[in-house]
Amino acid sequence: MLHVPGATFVGINTAHGVTRRTLTWNLRDVSIIGDIHKEQLDEAKEIFEKSPPGDARVIVMHHNPVRGELSQRHGLKNTHKILGAFAEMGVDLVCCGHDHQESVHYIEHTRKGTVISTAGTISSRSRGGRPSSVNVIAIGPETIDVTTHVWSGDQGTFVTGPHKCFKRSEYVAAE
């Protein structure tokens, strides 16, 4: 857990190795699929409940809970259940990776929307021959801005790429 003025970050380990819970019928998924246990969700919920009102609630984890555009698969087991749990906790932002392709999604829930920022990679292992990239995120009191910076071999640096701005919605607690 990390708390900075205006935001509370909770790290969740999704890389538990090959377990019964991460096995699927797709052999390509062996040692690829991540998992989050109920105890981890309970701990994150407890931390967020103790965080200052108005703080941005941010989950940081490895595996992507949203289907990758090129890979066409989720990196995380039980994504609908996990995203639902994040919505119940009032999570504003999920920072993840795993898919080696940058993306930014907004998941609408009945209680609160959640921004999913999937980092690209700064290695040579990006998908589809795409250049390396990083997402730069600015969290304000009313918005979450995500700007992708893409490596330019010609310029020898990261250059500003696509930008998305999302309104932070108010969390409505369950009654």
Considering only the C-alpha atoms of the chain, give the largest distance between any 2 of them, rounded to a whole number of Å. 55
Residue 131 CA, chain-centre distance (Å), reads 20
174 in a domain, yes or no?
no
User: pLDDT tens digits, residue range 44-94?
Assistant: 999 999 999 899 999 999 988 886 665 556 678 788 899 999 999 999 999
User: pLDDT tens digits, residue range 16-41?
Assistant: 766 666 656 666 655 567 889 999 99
112 in a domain, yes or no?
yes
CA distance linking residue 161 with residue 88, whole number of Å: 32
Helical (H) or strand (E) element with 42: helix 38-50
User: pLDDT tens digits, residue range 117-127?
Assistant: 988 766 666 66
Stated pTM of the model = 0.84
User: pLDDT tens digits, residue range 135-158?
Assistant: 999 999 999 999 999 989 899 999
Place of tokens 């795993």: 98
173 in a domain, yes or no?
no
Percent of the chain with pLDDT over 90: 47
111 in a domain, yes or no?
yes
How many domains, in total, are found in the chain?
Answer: 1
Instruction: Give the CATH number of the domain where residue 147 resides.
Output: 3.60.21.10
